[in-house]
Amino acid sequence: MNFILCARLLDRLKFMHKRSRFNNKRFILVAALFLGLLLNLPSLSSAYNRADRRSFQRSIVDVRPRLNPRFKKVKRKKTQYIIVHTSELGLNTTLRVVLKGKRLRSGRTTPGGHAHYVIARNGRTYRILDKEFEADHAGLSMWNGETDISRISIGIELVGYHYAPISESQYRSLGKLIDILQGVYGLDDRAVLTHSQVAYGKRNPWFRKNHRGRKRCAKNFIRAKAELGPTWPYDPDVRSGRILPDPQLAEVYYGGREYYAKAEDANVISKLNTAWSIAGEDYDSRTTVYEFPGGQIYTGDQISDSVGWNRIPAKTVVLLNQENSVFLKKSDGPIKTISDSLTAWSFAGQAYNQKTTIYFLPSGRVKFGSMISDWDDLPAETRLIVGYSGPYTLNKDRSAYRIAGSKYKDRKTVYYLPSKELMAGDRIEDFDRLPAGTQIFLPYT
């Protein structure tokens, strides 16, 4: 076990050295000192103490009884890796998919068992499957010549998107969980990989042979925030010639810089951000939604015949895993509705917590984005408008025209009636019958 602990310590020391906490001379001296001490010690303390780990383990929510009974449990023969995923969904749908299964392109459904753990954005951790069983989480995958990584790894799903920041609460829980699992299986920090690192795809129009890039899952994962040292300095399967590199992922993982998903256009089509670089193998799936700048909505399986992959306009927003939500995306003009698949991030992106994003909760309460701590905390059926000012209250001395001017009956002018009905201006037939107390919201300029 001391050799494993040595490897973990060296990972951390190299990480500190890389971040310029030590110069070369100090790094060598400190590494030698600690390794010398380690050889005479029975154990090495981790970033978390025993109380931290016990408290975290007690807090895990056990949802194993909800696992699809069709799922066949197979004990894993060995455990070499821990694979970090982003679910590309909100919490409720993530739990449903990993427990009950997902729909495949062929129309068939899987029997679930797609992760061992799920970590919600508030840090709450759910146990999906006993850690000793195989979970079908990595799909077509390879690392260092080993294929079918699901057979030799533990899968952890972080609720959220690869183009949105992972929450600090998730990092805290993930760090503790990984620390526990490393202790159980004797794994060093380099055994922790992301799905986008290990997934690969078959040849397609972009690649002449097998290649990385099939998944973009967890490419926004910042290892230091989970108390981990650096990843591998290279992709062993690319270096060996077994597969081709994906240029974007190669830059993220091996380009000598720390990647963070903070750009507002991370899921928006541009010259450098293609459908492939955002959606990977799901670029042409019917569950991938393309929202053009003019408001037109297409699913991935419609683009080839209706538009053409080379003619998707810049600033098109790409959303993943929208199996049953396209009609919600198309409806209600500026008024959007949150569902299990469509979160506040789906509509507002990083503006979810800005004052100009306004939420109308099912309870009737109205909240500004600045009052929202996290986009996944909002219940389904919450409605929202993005890029608005207000409210401006209607009364006998203040008509809709006086508030909104000539735009009072425009589809972008939104009315919230005392009855909790939310309407765009072009759907109101008689403005003289609007009750006092109606709130008006205007596009922010």
Taking the C-alpha atoms of residue 417 and residue 433, their distance in angstroms, rounded to an integer, is 11
* 45-254: CATH topology: Lysozyme-like (3.40.80)
Tokens 């040292």 belong to residue? 229
The reported pLDDT for the residue numbered 324 is 60
Residue range 353-382, pLDDT digits in tens: 999 999 999 999 999 999 999 999 899 899
Residue range 89-148, pLDDT digits in tens: 899 999 999 999 988 777 788 999 999 999 999 999 999 999 999 999 999 999 999 999
Instruction: Supply 369's token pair.
Output: 């984005």
**Angle, CA of 311, 315 and 316, to the nearest 5°:** 60
Q: What are the boundaries of each domain within the chain? A: 1-44, 45-254, 265-323
Q: What's the mean pLDDT in 406-416?
A: 94
Residue range 69-83, pLDDT digits in tens: 999 999 999 999 999
Angle at which helices 24-38 and 2-18 cross, to 10°: 160
Query: Within 13 Å of residue 14, how many CA atoms lie on the same side as its CB?
Result: 15
Q: Are strands 81-86 and 192-194 parallel, antiparallel or unpaired?
A: parallel
24 vs 381, higher pLDDT: 381
Residue range 290-320, pLDDT digits in tens: 989 888 889 898 998 889 888 899 989 888 8
The reported pLDDT for the residue numbered 331 is 54
Taking the C-alpha atoms of residue 164 and residue 344, their distance in angstroms, rounded to an integer, is 12
Q: Name the pTM for this structure.
A: 0.82
